[in-house]
Structure 1
Amino acid sequence: MPTAAAATHADPLGIHAGHLPDLDELLAGAHVVSLPMRVKFRGILQREALLLRGPLGWGEFCPFPEYADAEASRWLASALEAGWQGFPAPLRDSIPVNATVPAVPAGRVPEILARFGRVDAVKVKVAERGQILDDDAARVSAVRDALPDAAIRVDANGGWDVAEAVEALTRLAGVGLEYAEQPVADIAGLAEVRRRLRAAGVPVLIAADESVRKEDDPLKVARAGAADLIVVKVAPLGGVRRALDIVAQAGLPAVVSSALDTSVGIRAGLALAAALPELPYACGLGTVSLLGADVTRDSLLPDDGAIRLRDVHADAELLAAHAAAPERRDWWLDRLRRVHAVLAQGAAADVPHGKMLK
Structure 2
Amino acid sequence: MSTAPAAGLPDLSELEASAAVVRLPMRVRFRGVTEREALLLRGPAGWGEFAPFLEYGDAEAARWLASGIEAAWEGFPEPVRARVPVNATVPAVPAGQVREVLAAFGPVSAVKVKVAERGQALADDVARVAAIRDALPEADLRVDANAGWTVPEAVEALSRLNEFSLEYAEQPVPGINGLAEVRALLEARGTPVRIAADEAVRKAEDPLRVARAHAADLIIVKAAPLGGVRRALEIVREAGLPAVVSSAIDTSVGLAAGVALAAALPSLPHACGLGTGALLAHDVVASPLVPEAGFVSADSLAERATPDPELLERFAAPIDRREWWLERLRRCHAVLARGQVGH
Q: Name the TM tier (shorter chain).
A: over 0.9
Q: Partner of 1:174 in structure 2?
A: 163
Q: Partner of 2:107 in structure 1?
A: 118
**After superposition, where does 1:157-236 map in structure 2 within 5 Å?**
157-236=146-225
Q: Are 1:325 and 2:318 an aligned pair? A: yes
Cα shift readout 1:242-285 (whole Å, capped 9, x = no counterpart): 00000001000000000110000000000000010000000000
3-state SS of paired residue (1:36): strand
Cα shift readout 1:138-187 (whole Å, capped 9, x = no counterpart): 00000000000000000000000000000000000001000000000111
Cα shift readout 1:275-307 (whole Å, capped 9, x = no counterpart): 100000000000010011100011000000000
User: For the residues of structure 1 that align with 2:319 and 2:139, how far apart are their CA atoms?
Assistant: 44
Cα shift readout 1:106-130 (whole Å, capped 9, x = no counterpart): 0000000000000000000000000
- Contact 1:243-1:272 within 8 A present in 2 as well: yes
Question: Which amino acid in the other structure matches residue 198 of structure 1?
Answer: E
Q: Are 1:31 and 2:24 an aligned pair? A: no
User: For the residues of structure 2 that align with 1:353 and 1:39, how far apart are their CA atoms?
Assistant: 33
User: 1:353 Cα shift?
Assistant: 2.8
Q: Partner of 2:65 in structure 1?
A: 76
Residue number among 240, 263, 283 corresponding to 1:274 in the alignment? 263
- Tell me the matched-pair count: 339
Q: Partner of 1:4 in structure 2?
A: none
Q: Which moved more, 1:260-269 or 1:302-311?
A: 302-311
Q: Partner of 1:334 in structure 2?
A: 327
Q: How high is the TM-score relative to the length of structure 2?
A: 0.97
User: For the residues of structure 2 that align with 1:65 and 1:107, how far apart are their CA atoms?
Assistant: 30
- Contact 1:11-1:352 within 8 A present in 2 as well: no
Question: Which amino acid in the other structure matches residue 232 of structure 2?
Answer: A
Moved over 2 A (4+): 8-12, 351-354
Give ranges in structure 2 of 5+ residues lacking alignment.
none
3-state SS of paired residue (1:173): helix
Q: Are 1:144 and 2:144 an aligned pair? A: no
User: For the residues of structure 1 that align with 2:59 and 2:156, how far apart are their CA atoms?
Assistant: 37
Q: Partner of 1:301 in structure 2?
A: 290
Cα shift readout 1:294-337 (whole Å, capped 9, x = no counterpart): 00011000000000113211110000000000000000001111
- Contact 1:194-1:227 within 8 A present in 2 as well: yes
Q: Are 1:256 and 2:256 an aligned pair? A: no
User: 1:10 Cα shift?
Assistant: 10
User: 1:44 Cα shift?
Assistant: 1.1
Cα shift readout 1:56-86 (whole Å, capped 9, x = no counterpart): 1000000011111111110000001000011
- Contact 1:34-1:46 within 8 A present in 2 as well: yes
Q: Partner of 1:313 in structure 2?
A: 306
User: For the residues of structure 2 that align with 1:23 and 1:214, how far apart are their CA atoms?
Assistant: 26
Q: Are 1:242 and 2:235 an aligned pair? A: no
User: 1:9 Cα shift?
Assistant: 8.4
Question: Which amino acid in the other structure matches residue 55 of structure 2?
Answer: E
3-state SS of paired residue (2:311): helix
- Contact 1:94-1:307 within 8 A present in 2 as well: yes
Residue number among 127, 130, 133 corresponding to 2:122 in the alignment? 133
- Contact 1:119-1:304 within 8 A present in 2 as well: yes
Question: Which amino acid in the other structure matches residue 307 of structure 1?
Answer: V
Cα shift readout 1:210-237 (whole Å, capped 9, x = no counterpart): 0000000000111111000000000000
User: For the residues of structure 2 that align with 1:271 and 1:128, how far apart are their CA atoms?
Assistant: 30
> Cα RMSD between the aligned structures?
1.4
3-state SS of paired residue (1:236): coil
User: 1:11 Cα shift?
Assistant: 7.4
3-state SS of paired residue (2:129): helix
Residue number among 86, 109, 117 corresponding to 1:97 in the alignment? 86
3-state SS of paired residue (1:307): strand
User: For the residues of structure 2 that align with 1:264 and 1:321, how far apart are their CA atoms?
Assistant: 16
Q: Partner of 1:44 in structure 2?
A: 33
Identity %: 67
Q: Partner of 1:5 in structure 2?
A: none
Question: Which amino acid in the other structure matches residue 28 of structure 1?
Answer: A
Question: Which amino acid in the other structure matches residue 23 of structure 2?
Answer: S
User: For the residues of structure 2 that align with 1:218 and 1:353, how far apart are their CA atoms?
Assistant: 9
Q: Partner of 1:345 in structure 2?
A: 338
- Contact 2:59-2:341 within 8 A present in 1 as well: no
